[in-house]
Amino acid sequence: MMITPVHHFRDIERKPEYLQPEKCVPPPSHASLGTMWFIRDGCGIACAVVTWMLVFYADFVVLLVMLVPSRDYVYSVINGTLFNTLAFLALASHFRAMLTDPGAVPKGNATKEFIESLQLKPGQVVYKCPKCCSIKPDRAHHCSVCKRCIRKMDHHCPWVNNCVGENNQKYFVLFTMYIALISLHALIMVGFHFLYCFEEDWTKCSSFSPPTTVILLILLCFEALLFLIFTSVMFGTQVHSICTDETGIERLKNQKPTWEKISGWEGMKLAFGGAFSLGWFNPFSNLDCERSAPAEATSAAPASAIMTQEEIEQFLARDVAIPVLHE
């Protein structure tokens, strides 16, 4: 178990002068060096495409089956604008959650130079991931789908074709929230439309034939109810994880915290990028609120407490944790 401060490595591992993956075997893939984050997983891509198609289907039924044929112009405009705004925000949140780096640890940074730069103190333990040849920061876990170690990894979600980690959790929370809202809105409109059609002639309440209208509405009702339940549960689970500062993996492992917890409202501000504002609900806003490392995490260790070259050589040859001890 690591007893290093939570973000001891965060600032260091982003400095390119310490990342020399060519000295680590296996070397990183060239695909991981690009600027866009995208997971090439067939199942995840299919789930993401299905997600967008289901949202477009709901929009098609809401607009062309229920709102356009309605004789109440104000009702159609208000509900059409509200539904499409929520649908747009849901798809934008999905897009950001899918294409945002969730917090991947630099691949192949288990090098001599990087170990020396950490200036580890006695009693500290570091982990080397044998799968991606990286030094794992505290609370990082390896994802077999992304093939990377992810900081504060909560889970891998095939519906967004990405891991949910510290950098994209906000977008995933917004995605589940907006999908739950449009599902609830669609259910309410389907209920009102059925009532309207029962009172009026079925041939006048839709531009489609009565059997087709009923089938389309039932399918939308089933889809909306299913996703309302699913996304509401996911939204509640994610908010609970943020407020308790405990990821899904840590909760499943019943892992005792070795980090300084940031819970409640402070955790929400950290996850959503600052004090409460409309930016919390904006999937286009970036996360600009960084947690500063403790002072003792950035202070240099005494020369006698730093790992020797021999210890570093032994560590790089192993796939397990190695503690830093006095000679």
List the catalytic residue out of 149, 157, 197, 205: 157
Q: What is the DSSP letter of 34?
A: S
Beta bridge partners of 323: 125
> Is 24 annotated in the active site?
no
Q: Which pLDDT score, from 0 to 100, does residue 300 have?
A: 36
**Burial class (CB within 10 angstroms; exposed 0-12, middle 13-18, buried 19+) of 86:** buried
Q: Residue 321 above 90 pLDDT?
A: no
- Torsion angles phi and psi, residue 108, rounded to 5: 75, 30
Q: Residue 31 above 70 pLDDT?
A: no
| Higher-confidence position of 275 and 26 | 275
Give the confidence band of 290 by pLDDT, cuts at 50, 70, 90. very low
CA trace torsion 162, 178, 279, 80 (10° rounding): 130
- Of 174, 173, 101, give the one whose Cα is nearest residue 143: 101
Give the confidence band of 32 by pLDDT, cuts at 50, 70, 90. very low
Enter the tokens of residue 207: 């531009």
Instruction: Supply the Cα-derived Rg of the chain in whole angstroms.
Output: 25
pLDDT > 90 in the chain, percent: 50
Give the confidence band of 82 by pLDDT, cuts at 50, 70, 90. very high
Q: Residue 79 above 60 pLDDT?
A: yes
Give the confidence band of 98 by pLDDT, cuts at 50, 70, 90. very high
Could you report the per-residue pLDDT of 220-267, keeping only the tens digit for each?
Answer: 999 999 999 999 999 999 999 999 999 999 888 887 887 788 878 999
Dihedral sign, CA of 313, 317, 323, 327? negative
Q: Which pLDDT score, from 0 to 100, does residue 18 have?
A: 35
| Higher-confidence position of 257 and 1 | 257
Could you report the per-residue pLDDT of 255-284, keeping only the tens digit for each?
Answer: 788 778 887 899 999 999 889 999 999 999
Stated pTM of the model: 0.78
Highest mean pLDDT out of 12-26, 61-75, 286-300: 61-75
Q: Which pLDDT score, from 0 to 100, does residue 72 have?
A: 87
Enter the tokens of residue 279: 């930016």
